[in-house]
Structure 1
């Protein structure tokens, strides 16, 4: 077991747990090292998005992984297993937990968690992955322009122990990491698609300010979203090339 309490570094305040983890990478930090912050001054989401979090209220951390067994072209599998670990952790407390492609975690139509993964490549394989996670746990008011945040406390009407969520997530992440190491990609693919937000039926999407309806036909080998329109046309989209209309 490489994910243990001994590998958890707890800090009161950071600009970003991912940035701190990058420094630890230079020092050859052990696999499974976790950087946990009570507050992030400059928490980041995908492609420069800002992650709002009230001090001491939420789960903000990064995990260092060394998936050297994985081809660089398959790096989206890290996103898949992290999403699955986090979604299944939250499913222990909530119903209707889904993964909104590529790796936001939703409850119903609201976002409860986000993931930012930064990979490095060595030759044809992955060298390291810094997995940044933010989970809305005990925050009750959100002031940013984010349209649909929600927290565990808002949904469950009670305080949740942040470290309990972290411990459960790390256990599940280690299990999925081993599944991936064993080459069971079909299992990962199936579970990921099963938990995808809007994985059934036609839904609204937006491309270049134009709305259209489509169903999710699949996920490509590089993580691209495959959308099938009512006329049967299938188009692949990379992240930020298409928008869910929520």
Structure 2
């Protein structure tokens, strides 16, 4: 597929359980072309990473998903997709002078507050990823969040209200450009670009080592294609961490 044409089509819904679910069902019936973006004013069962729920006020934010197909990404390298999408989101926000960063693996933060979340569900064919459904929840015009929720939005950061529909289309255009750029360069380009947005890369940050329930200082030094990170722990030893082994504290 030609990623530079994303979004090939925009489907707008008033309400849906989740845009990821909507796309998954349409893919099964063959009713969706690659590059299609689904945007919903309201999601009744929006999901985040690790079974969490994405909280968003109806009509104020961009809650959407895109259907993409792939030819050359192996299952063991599927984290490449997550990296590319996260890079695209950060690049897009930087266009608005919002200093977006990635909290490993793919939450998007502005300083200590979350502005976007990404949920990717891949379909496999043998040793390769055949397609993926990528859901993105991006806070746009919401100014008030639940008590205790560390979140921010475009309007909070810039003071300007945005057209959610136009904003969403521009977001996926940036993601498409990022994927096109990936096809011109080796993995080192993705790792280098992703690292440039990554909180804790070449700087010490605090995290909970979940297995040991221990607070540690880590400095990320490398990202592997399978999503694991190599990090210097407490300035003494290097260790590889998998996706569910750390909880960062900012």
TM bucket (normalised to shorter chain) is: over 0.9
- Residue of structure 2 equivalent to 1:52: 55
Match of 2:242 among 230, 238, 244: 238
- Whole-angstrom distance in 2 between the partners of 1:112 and 1:48: 18
Give runs of ≥4 in structure 1 deviating > 4 Å: none
Tell me if 1:41 matches 2:44.
Answer: yes
Q: 1:210 to 1:189 in 2, by over 3 A?
A: same
Residue 39 of structure 1: SS of its match in structure 2? strand
Q: Which region of structure 1 is more displaced relative to structure 2, 153-162 or 180-189?
A: 180-189
- Residue of structure 2 equivalent to 1:137: 140
Q: Unpaired segments of 5 or more residues in structure 1?
A: none
Mapping for residues 80-229 of structure 1, pairs under 5 Å:
80-143=83-146, 147-182=149-184, 184-208=186-210, 209-229=213-233
Residue 231 of structure 1 deviates from its aligned partner by 4.0
Q: Which region of structure 1 is more displaced relative to structure 2, 56-65 or 220-229?
A: 220-229
Contact 1:89 1:165 in 2 (8 A): no
Q: Which region of structure 1 is more displaced relative to structure 2, 127-136 or 227-236?
A: 227-236
- Whole-angstrom distance in 1 between the partners of 2:57 and 2:235: 46
Superposed CA deviations along residues 95-135 of structure 1, whole A, max 9, x for unmatched, are: 32111111111111111000000001101111110000000
- Whole-angstrom distance in 2 between the partners of 1:226 and 1:5: 35
Contact 2:108 2:115 in 1 (8 A): yes
Instruction: Return the structure number with greater strand share.
Output: 2
Contact 2:217 2:234 in 1 (8 A): yes
TM-score when normalising by structure 1:
0.93
- Residue of structure 2 equivalent to 1:14: 16
Superposed CA deviations along residues 163-196 of structure 1, whole A, max 9, x for unmatched, are: 2322222222222222333453221111001111
CA RMSD of aligned residues (A): 1.7
Q: Unpaired segments of 5 or more residues in structure 2?
A: none
Contact 2:93 2:99 in 1 (8 A): no
- Whole-angstrom distance in 1 between the partners of 2:177 and 2:10: 18
Q: 1:144 to 1:19 in 2, by over 3 A?
A: farther
